[in-house]
Amino acid sequence: MYVLVSPCVLNPSLRAEGITRPSDIAAFNRAKERCRRFGIEMVPLPCPETIYLGAGRSPGTYLERLNTPAFLRLIEELESQVRIEIAERGPPLCIVGVNSSPTCGVTSTYYGEEGGKPPKREGRGVFLARFPDIPAIDVIKFARYRIYLAAPLFSEAERAYNAALARLLEENLFDVYVPQDAGDDSSGRDLTEHSRMFSAHREALDTADAVVAIIDGADADSGTAWEMGYASARGTPVFALRTDFRKVGVHEHVNLMLEQSATLVTSQKALLTALNSPLAEIPLSG
C-alpha cells in the first residue's frame, strides 16, 4: 500500500523560497505520521519545477516561469517515468499533492493571469493534471486524520453501531477516539470519575482534526450536541451523520444550530467522501 506524494512534503527545501509557513511544515509532518501509523509507503513524485528551474528559485506562476516547450517535454518524460513505476508497483491509493502549486496543486493552482482570470484558479497543477485517473488529496486534508466520534452510547444497539462505525473509519486510515472505550459506558460512576471522563473527552476534542457526530433520533443526543458546539467554537470541522429519514422542518433534518455548524451527510459512504478518505471506494462494513 502506497501513496504518490509531492516531493516537497518529504523535503520542503524543494519549494520556492519564502512560501513555506510553520503550518505547512506541521501538515507535512502530520501526513507522514498518518502514513507511519497505517503502514503506507510514501513514494515521492519527481519535482518538475526543481529539475527545470533549480533549487532556491523565487515563486512564480506556470505562465510566468514554466510555459515553454522545454518544460512541456520535461513533464511528458516525468509522466512516463511515473507511469512505469505505477505499472511495476500497482496503482497507488492516491496522490497527496500541495494546493496552489503550479505543478502539484490538487484543487487550486497558481496558473497565471490570462484572459482576465486571476492567477490562482481551480483545478490541478499542470503535472498532477496528467494523472486524472488517480484520486488526489491536498496534503492539508490528508493530514487531518484524528477523529472524535460523538454519539449517544447508552444502549447496546448504540454502542454496537458506534463500534462498527469506528472500525469503518479505522479501515479508512483514520485514528478514532470513541468515548465508550474510555470508560463512558455505565451509570455507576462517582463524581471523581465524572470529572476524569469530562477531562479525557475534552482533551480528545482539543486534539482532534475533525468530529464525526451521529445525530439520528427524534432529537440529537444532548452530549453529542455539546461536543458539536464545542468543536465548532474551536474551529474544528464537524461532520454530522444522520441516517434517520425524519425531519424537524421543511428545510431542516435536525436543529438548525447543529445542522448549520456541521457538514451533514446521510450515509456512511457520503461520510467517507466528505472526510476525504483515501479508501472511499472500499466496501462498507458494520
Q: What is the CATH number of the domain that holds 160?
A: 3.40.50.450
Indicate whether 279 belongs to any domain.
Answer: no
Which of 113, 142, 171 terminates a domain? The answer is 142
106 and 155, same domain (yes or no): no
In this structure, which amino acid lies at residue 47? Answer: C
Are residues 154 and 249 both part of a single domain?
yes
The verdict on residue 282 lying in a domain is no
> What pLDDT shows up at residue 242?
85
Total domains, the chain: 2
- Tell me whether residue 286 is in a domain: no
Report pLDDT for 250: 57
**Together in a domain, 19 and 93:** yes
pLDDT of residue 283: 35
Among candidates 138, 139, 170, which has minimal Cα distance to 29?
Answer: 139
- Domain span at 124: 2-142
- The whole-model pTM stands at 0.84
Q: What is the pLDDT of residues 155-208, one digit of tens each?
A: 888 889 999 999 999 999 999 999 988 775 566 667 777 788 888 889 999 999
Res 286: pLDDT: 31
Same domain, 138 and 153: no
Spell out, as residue ranges, where the chain has pLDDT lower than 50.
281-286
**What is the Cα–Cα distance from 286 to 283, expressed in whole angstroms?**
10
pLDDT digits (tens, 9 = 90+) for 36-57: 999 999 999 999 999 999 988 9
For residue 280, tell me if it sits in a domain: no
Assess if residue 43 is contained within a domain: yes
98 with 54, same domain: the answer is: yes
Domain edge (last residue) among 142, 161, 187: 142
Last residue of a domain, one of 92, 108, 142: 142
Do 217 and 85 lie in one domain? The reply is: no
Residue 99 lies in a domain: yes
* Predicted local confidence at residue 198, as pLDDT: 85
